[in-house]
Each structure stands twice: as structure tokens, then as C-alpha cells.
Amino acid sequence: MMQQPYKKDYLNQFYNQFFCEDYSVYISADTKPVYPFDVLASSDTAALEKIAADPDMESRIRLLAYRRLASLGIPIAEKILLGVIVEVDMEQGLDTLAVYADGSARLIGQAENMIIWEQRTKESDELISQLFNDSKNVVAMIGPWTEDRLPHPAAGEVRLNFLVSDGYYFGQGPFAVLSKDAMGGPVIATATDLLVFLVTHGEIA
């Protein structure tokens, strides 16, 4: 389901792409898909499994392959964390930080601007590695959400989204509470450090 938390349509498009739920959000209906989207649009389970298992493939593409396999009824045995998305509804709007296992990140700020981070640096890699380590501790303690993704969190709330090979996991609560939680607190703290890094070193797209 396409959600629209932002006033700008293109930011809503990016926002929905962050969650890697459906390959069709990434391609134009008027354009014939090319690799790897032609495979993602197919029912070729062997080719989809090859993409999903490829550690050199972009994390978002791997997630899309896993989701496509699941939609075809193929059981996913692996439990690989490939993406972490932190949403915080601030006074002026929604802050969304999306981070992936391949070292890339995206940030949509409450002021409706966006930073796309594709480069690899020692500091960004360390922050992302720590975020994933913190997040794996949470994923190990919760189960996947099997319903439609909920609308973005309300004011004062924070949602921690975990994009795992075998499904979508999340935790949510008041920011003041979850930031002090034994499991959620470290995720929020590291995500905050990464957000500051991106704002300092990234460029607005």
C-alpha cells in the first residue's frame, strides 16, 4: 500500500521504496523492466533465489527478491537483516532514516529534503555496522509482522522497522520511552549518531 506522509509526491515515492515491499514501486509502468527488475517481475524462482543470495547485490534488490519469492509461496529459511528504517514524527513532520546492509543510507527530513548516501567511509561503515548489531538484538527477540504495514507513527512516536529476509519486523512506542528501552534504546542512539553524520557529511539531493 502506497503511503503519503509527505507533501511532495517524489518523496512519498522514495519513502515507499525504502521498505522494499514491491518491485513495481521502483519501475515505470510505461517502461519494459531490465535486469534485475525483469527477474523481480517474473516467477523464475531459481533466478530470484540467485539474486536474493548474492552478497554483492544491492541490499534493496535482495530484499525485493526475497519478498517476490515469498509472494510466490516459497518459504524463506534464512533470517538475514538487510535494512533498518527509523521513523520519528517530529513537530514539523516525519524524519525517516533508511539504512541498508550494503552501507548505503537515505534520509528524508521533516523539512522535506533528502540525502542519499552511497559512498563508503570508515565512519559511516562503523556507524552502520553498529546500527545493524543493535538491530539484530531486537530482531532476535520479536517475530515478523504479517499484516499490512501501518501508517507512519503519530507525533511523539518512534517506529523501528527491520527489513529481514524472512519478513518485516517492527517495534514502536513513545520516543521518550523507547529511547530508554534496553533493546530499542541502542538502536535509536546509533541511528541518531548516523543521522547527524549524514546531515554533516551528506548532500541534499
Write the pLDDT tens digit of every residue in 69-121: 999 999 999 999 999 999 999 988 999 999 999 999 999 999 999 999 999 99
Residue 150 confidence class, pLDDT cut points 50, 70, 90? very high
For residue 1, is pLDDT > 90?
A: no
Winning range, highest mean pLDDT, from 18-27, 29-38, 101-110: 101-110
For residue 33, is pLDDT > 90?
A: no
For residue 67, is pLDDT > 80?
A: yes
Amino acid symbol at 74: I
For residue 29, is pLDDT > 90?
A: no
CA 139, CA 81: separation in Å to the nearest integer? 8
Q: Give the pLDDT confidence score for residue 30 in this predicted structure.
A: 77
| 61 or 24: which leads in pLDDT | 61
CA 74, CA 67: separation in Å to the nearest integer? 10
Residue 27 confidence class, pLDDT cut points 50, 70, 90? confident
Mean pLDDT of the chain: 96
Q: Give the pLDDT confidence score for residue 205 in this predicted structure.
A: 82
Could you identify the residue written with the cell 551528506? 202
Q: Which residues of 161-170 are buried (b: 16+ CB within 10 A; e: fewer)?
A: bbbbbebbbb
What's the angle, vertex CA 147, arms to CA 142 and CA 150, rounded to 5? 90
Q: Per-domain residue ranges for the chain? A: 79-201
Biggest CA–CA distance in the chain, Å, is: 48
Q: Cα 106 from chain centroid?
A: 9
Closest residue by Cα to residue 190 from 106, 99, 111: 99
Closest residue by Cα to residue 61 from 124, 31, 53: 53
User: 184-201 vs 122-139: helix axis angle to the nearest 10?
Assistant: 160
C-alpha cell at 146: 504479517
Q: Is the pTM of this model over 0.85?
A: yes
- Parallel, antiparallel, or unpaired: how do β-strands 157-164 and 81-90 relate? antiparallel
| Cβ(40)–Cβ(68) below 8 Å | yes
